[in-house]
């Protein structure tokens, strides 16, 4: 059996009437007439308006408008089980896709990605410690205590300056960076594209969300800092 949209469209074309002519005669917008013929009923604002448009459209074409409305009701009723099944299938597909993306994000490690620039904070910290160490090493001279000209000059040694262990950053085969010789770990992240980001500092989740293009984020930790990155186009 033909659908309501096909019946109205075939009747209109058989009479050689354009959509615009129907709109002018019935005061129904062309947008709604085309939606009814294409059976995109959700375009029409409300069930009451939809039934009224179908009735007036049918009457204008010389058909039984009331009978067309009843046919529409039967058609919608017959489509309900199929629509429910489709909605359930769509919901299952969305949940499955969401779970897969969540699992994929949890497996991500810090990698050298073209849209992320990391390590700026580590370089700054390393430079500060290096210059501080060089300064104290060069100025650690022996202080002399001068007494009278007849007394012996006594050397007063300065307290021994503890050497600072240089910071060492290495990258492992799985894309993780190991930082040695630093009291704290800091990361500055600048995104050159939209990027999903999840950050854990010393085992605690401190950030989950999107880092937009051009946005700068910074995090610090004492022992462990893990950043999970995801491309939003994936």
Average pLDDT of span 67-77: 95
Nearest to 195 by CA among 121, 74, 113, 130: 113
Average pLDDT of span 45-71: 97
Q: Each residue of 165-194: pLDDT tens digit? A: 666 667 776 667 676 667 788 888 787 887
CATH of the domain at 8: 1.10.260.40
Average pLDDT of span 39-43: 95
The pTM of this model reads 0.38
Query: Does one domain contain both 74 and 149?
Result: no
pLDDT of residue 112: 47
CA atoms of 176 and 61, how far apart (whole Å):
72
Query: Does one domain contain both 124 and 203?
Result: yes
CA atoms of 160 and 136, how far apart (whole Å):
11
CA atoms of 96 and 149, how far apart (whole Å):
91
Taking a C-beta distance cutoff of 8 angstroms, is the pair 15, 7 a contact? no
| Total count of domains within the chain | 2
Query: Does one domain contain both 132 and 63?
Result: no
In a domain, 121, yes or no: yes
Q: Each residue of 120-148: pLDDT tens digit? A: 555 556 566 665 556 555 554 444 344 44
In a domain, 106, yes or no: no
Average pLDDT of span 200-216: 85
Range from 106-115, 151-160, 170-179 carrying the lowest mean pLDDT: 106-115
């Amino acid at each position: 059996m033909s659908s309501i949209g096909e019946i109205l469209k075939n009747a209109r074309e058989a009479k050689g009437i354009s959509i615009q002519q129907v709109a002018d005669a019935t005061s129904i917008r062309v947008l709604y007439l085309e939606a009814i013929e294409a059976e995109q009923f959700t375009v029409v604002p409300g069930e009451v308006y939809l039934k009224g448009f179908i009735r007036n459209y049918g009457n204008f074409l010389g058909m039984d408008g009331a009978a067309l409305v009843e046919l529409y009701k039967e058609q919608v009723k017959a489509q309900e089980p199929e629509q429910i099944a489709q909605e359930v299938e769509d919901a299952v597909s969305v949940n499955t896709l969401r779970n897969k993306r969540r699992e994929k994000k949890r497996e991500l490690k810090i990698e050298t990605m073209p849209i992320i620039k990391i390590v700026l904070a580590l370089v700054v910290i390393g430079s500060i410690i290096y210059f501080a160490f060089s300064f104290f090493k060069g100025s650690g001279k022996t202080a002399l205590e001068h007494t009278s000209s007849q007394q012996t000059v006594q050397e007063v040694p300065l307290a021994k300056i503890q050497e600072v262990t240089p910071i060492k950053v290495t990258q492992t085969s799985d894309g993780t960076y190991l930082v040695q010789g630093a009291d704290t770990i800091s990361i500055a992240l600048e995104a050159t594209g939209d990027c999903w980001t999840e950050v854990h500092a010393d085992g605690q989740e401190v950030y989950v969300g999107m880092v937009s293009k051009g946005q700068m984020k910074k995090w610090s930790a004492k022992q462990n800092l893990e950043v999970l990155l995801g491309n939003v186009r994936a």
